[in-house]
Structure formats: structure tokens, C-alpha cells
Chain A
Amino acid sequence: MINAAEAWLVECGHARVFISALNMLHVIEDSTMRYRVPLTPAHCNSVLVWQQRVLPVVSIAELIHQPTRTPCKYVCVLGWQDIQAGTEYGVLAASAFPQRIMIHDSHSVTPAAELAEAWQPYALCFVEYNNKVVPIIDPARCFNASQFDRQSGIEAVGMIA
């Protein structure tokens, strides 16, 4: 039985999350490889050109509607398995270099209702770290949500072939 696992603490302004060490592939200092894409949702408005791939960059601060002015100097390349699409990649923006931390089952906590509601679409569970409740997030949920379309009620444009 697994009762402890390694995870990375990623901070973006006041927002902080844990990512399973299995999902974290690479941490790089933000560079000219990051490009802004116009008319995209605030939480995912840039891409990283990395190893011949174009990966979406998500801001966890914007994802939970807590925008920050703290510059995100680092980007964390994540990878996960999708049943249909195979290996998927995405990037989290970070304002500080992520910390690698061992998390134990005993750290698991029940979050306050407000925190649970904010992270509910993306969190797998919550743990207590340095007297703060921090979610462990599922990257697939963060990168698959087209929040922009849901908010504006836009439907896909179709045409007859």
C-alpha cells in the first residue's frame, strides 16, 4: 500500500498546487519559446514551443479567477496518459522554481467549502502543507477544459462538407 509519494509544489502568485512527480517532466526558465495567442481565455493565453510541439500554458491563478501580477519566470512541462489520445502534454506557469516534496497520507485534509468549490473541477484531493490547504491537481482536467467556450456559451462552428 502506498502511503507516501513525491509531488511538486507549483506556485503562481497566491495560488499553489501539488503535481504528482509522475506528471512533472521538465522545469525550464521562461524564455522566448513562449508565445501569446490572441483571443484565447485568460487562464490559457499562451503556448510553449517545446521539442517540435506546441503546448498550451495554463496559469493556475487565472484558472481559479485569482489573477496575479507576479511574473511567471518558470514553466513546468507536464505529461499524462489519456485513454483515447495517448500521451498528452501541457505546461503550468510558475512564479517560483517548484519544490519537490514528499506527501504522506496523513497530510490529507478536507478543505473549506470555498476552497473546495474553487478547485473542484481540477483537484484530486487536498493536503495540508505549511499550515495551508493545497490541492493535488489532475493535469488532464486543467488542460481539457475549454473554459472560454463554457463561459461565453459559444458553440462550435460547423459547415456541410
Chain B
Amino acid sequence: MITPMREWTANHFERADRFVVLQMEAITLIVMQAEVVALEPVLDVQVMNTQALPNYANASGFLPLTAGACPVYTLDENLNTLDQIPPTYRICAVMRNRPNDYALSCVAVHLLSRNEVSLHATPRSMLNARSPILQLLVHDGKLLLGTTAAALHAHLDARGNADVISFEQRIKRIKS
């Protein structure tokens, strides 16, 4: 039996007891609590060395954790990555995505329990199979964008590895 990925993830949101709200300047993301490994201050973020970490070229910096360098991403309202962390961002949430843990810089982070949020499906006219936004949640009349560490990582990875070539070049590659 085939179950849509979106439905499968929604069931996980339904069953989760606690959530972590990741407040950014223009948007607010929400993930299940089990998706967040640790919280680290933005002050600990070090400048990105793209030569040392070539796979994380779109990260704003990295956290030197005991397990190794952890890339830190900063997102704008369109979920595009920013080169620098804005001064209002104070905390980083380290996301569980073994073996590729990563961190998201945030203005603030706080916890919510299941009974403080209501779950809503993404309206059909807004569906985008490539979006990491898998569930819409409402808390105190405010919209929170539900995602998972894996879905967000896939989105960030797709952006970092995007192969921007011309249409002609692509045709040549296919033919060769």
C-alpha cells in the first residue's frame, strides 16, 4: 500500500507530545522535540571555512561540537540560506539528522506541548511536493510551519548541490 509522505509525517506530528518552536525573523518553524539534539548560543558560531567544509558552502558558519564541525544555517522568509547570521539571532538549535546533524540559527526557541497547538493540513491549492513544510500548526492564533530535520536537510542539501547549468549544456550532457 502506498502512503503519501505528507500523510505519514502528519501522523508523526499527531502523535508527538512536545514540540520545539524555532522563531526566526520572518517565519516560525516547529519541529517535534525529538528532532532537536541541543541548543547552542550564536556566540559560539565560527566563521565558515568553505575550504575545510566544502559541502556546506551555503551555511552561515559552524559550531565546533565534540562530534565535529556542525554547519549552521540561517533561513529567510523563503527558506533560502543567508550568508550571515543577523544580530537579533541569539540561539542555534542542533537538529538530529544522523550522520549529518546541522544547526539552525534562531531569534528564540521555546517548547510547546501537544495540547497547546492545533494541527492543520496544507491546503490543496498550496501543495508542493518539494517543500519541507509538511504540516501547518496554530498556537495562540499564530501560524507555525511544521517540518522535520530530514525534510529541511533535504531542502538545504538540494540548494547547496544545485547544478545550475544552461539548457544547452544539459542537453549536451544527456546526449554524451
Residues of A within 8 A of B (CB): 33, 35-41, 43-45, 47, 49, 52-56, 58, 90, 142-149, 154-161
B27 within 8 A of A: yes
Given contacts A39-B131, A52-B118, contact A144 B125 (CB under 8 A): yes
Q: Which residues of B contact A156 (CB under 8 A)?
A: 4, 6, 129
Contact present for B78 and A143 (CB under 8 Å): no
Distance, CA A33 to CA B136, complexed state (A)? 14
122-146 of chain B: CB within 8 A of chain A: 122-133, 136, 138, 141-143, 145
Q: Which residues of A contact B1 (CB under 8 A)?
A: 160-161
Contact present for B143 and A47 (CB under 8 Å): yes
Given contacts A54-B120, A146-B124, A156-B129, contact A49 B2 (CB under 8 A): no
Distance, CA A64 to CA B117, complexed state (A)? 35
Partner of B123, one of A39, A43, A143, A158: A143
Q: Which residues of B contact A149 (CB under 8 A)?
A: 127-129
CB distance from B131 to the nearest CB of A (A): 4
Contact present for A37 and B133 (CB under 8 Å): yes
Quick one: closest B residue to A56, CB to CB? B123
Distance, CA A38 to CA B3, complexed state (A)? 24
Partner of A38, one of B118, B120, B129, B131: B131
Contact present for B138 and A52 (CB under 8 Å): yes
Given contacts A38-B77, A44-B123, contact A161 B8 (CB under 8 A): yes
CB distance from B24 to the nearest CB of A (A): 11
Distance, CA A161 to CA B138, complexed state (A)? 28
Contact present for B126 and A37 (CB under 8 Å): yes
Quick one: closest A residue to B26, CB to CB? A36
Quick one: closest B residue to A91, CB to CB? B123
Quick one: closest B residue to A148, CB to CB? B128
Distance, CA A158 to CA B7, complexed state (A)? 9
Q: Which residues of B contact A41 (CB under 8 A)?
A: 125-126, 128
Contact present for A47 and B125 (CB under 8 Å): no
Distance, CA A78 to CA B22, complexed state (A)? 32
Report which residue of A43, A53, A54, A154 has the largest number of chain B beta carbons within 10 angstroms of its beta carbon: A54
Contact present for A56 and B126 (CB under 8 Å): yes
Contact present for A154 and B123 (CB under 8 Å): no
Q: Which residues of B contact A40 (CB under 8 A)?
A: 126, 128, 131
